[in-house]
Amino acid sequence: MKLHANARLSVIGRQLLVDRIERESWKVRDAAQSVGISERTARKWLARYRTEGPDGLIDRPSTPQLVANRTDERTIEAIAALRRLRFSGPEIAEVLDRPLSTVSGILTRIGMGRLGRLGLEPAERYERQVAGELIHIDVKKLGRIHGGAGKRITGLQRNPRRTRKDSEGHNRRIVGWDYVHVAIDDATRLAYAEVLSDEKATTAIGFLRRAIAFFESHGMTVCDLLTDNGSAYRSAVHAIACRTLGIRHLRTRPRRPQTNGKAERFIRTMLAGWAYGAIYATSAERTAALDGWIYRYNHHRRHAAIGRQPPISRLNNLLGTYT
């Protein structure tokens, strides 16, 4: 039972009040003073008890029994149908000519307040059971740090987009980008990452070789590789490199980054914990901090998707090595 927050008496206290009046023949005023309430409140509980019995001593809901302007069921069904078509709250309010506050309240009440994956096909989750059977590779571009922390930290536009003209007269940015190449094992979530100067095919191949060497140093044999459809991964030289390394190269469907979701989620974690998790004076300082963060991720950070254990523990469990 949910008791009113400001109630002076509990149900037992109300029963005591009624018993003193009904059984012990106390005056209503004296019984009210004995439990610290007004005579009016005492008469209210007494009247309810005489009408409803012990059930009358329970708090009633404060919501009105009848709302004259309550939204009808057909409108609620229409709101739910539009929500399944991924309409936003303001769009539904405009289509049905209803106040946004009414639409938002109804969506919350029927459990459709957050759009999320509502109306989309169910997410297909998968996980390999053998360490090294599948690794995910992806690249994240990060703007280089020029002149100290930027507006994400300071709130000020401190790093102007400085450019220079090349020999052909084209404007080229001076600051440029760092390219963070990441590789993560599907079964164990063991991760490897490097900050490189570009995302060309030759750079991607070099990273792939070093990533495979990293996983092999942990007792894993890489069988399959999953990437997106970037130009580096579609190149003939990358296909030749995969055949030379003896691994099968798989690519996600076009415009379906969620297929490579483990790499995408790792990048989000990496950005929050490493790239934006500290204030760096230079890009070199940020790059130098990556190895330490990767070690912590692999050996100490507990991963919710693998039973709240770090990736290295999951790897040891799968390989049967406890070192």
What's the pLDDT tens digit per position in 136-171? 999 999 988 877 766 666 666 655 566 667 677 776
Q: Is the dihedral of CA 55, 59, 65, 71 positive or negative?
A: negative
- Which uninterrupted H or E stretch holds 142? strand 134-143
Q: What distance in Å separates the CA atoms of residue 13 and residue 10, rounded to the nearest whole number?
A: 5
Average pLDDT over residues 213-231: 94
| Strands laid side by side in the 191-196 sheet | 191-196, 177-185, 134-143, 224-227, 248-251
Nearest to 140 by CA among 83, 205, 196, 102: 196
pLDDT (0 to 100) of residue 281: 87
- Which among 16, 52, 54, 50 has a CA at the least distance from the CA of 32? 16
Listed residue (317, 266, 256) closest to 293, CA to CA: 266
Select from 127, 128, 134 the least CA-distant residue to 224: 134
Angle, alpha carbons 312-300-187 (nearest 5°): 30
Return the pLDDT at 257: 72
The pTM score is: 0.65
Ranges assigned E (strand) in 146-245 = 163-165, 171-173, 177-185, 191-196, 224-227
Reported confidence tier of residue 67, pLDDT bands at 50, 70, 90: confident
The class that CATH gives domain 134-319 is: alpha beta
Whole-number Å distance between alpha carbons of 228 and 254: 8
pLDDT average, residue stretch 221-226: 95
Question: Considering only 59-63, 203-207, 313-317, which range has the smallest mean pLDDT?
Answer: 59-63
Calculate mean pLDDT across residues 196-202: 94
Partner residues linked to 181 by β-bridges = 139, 194
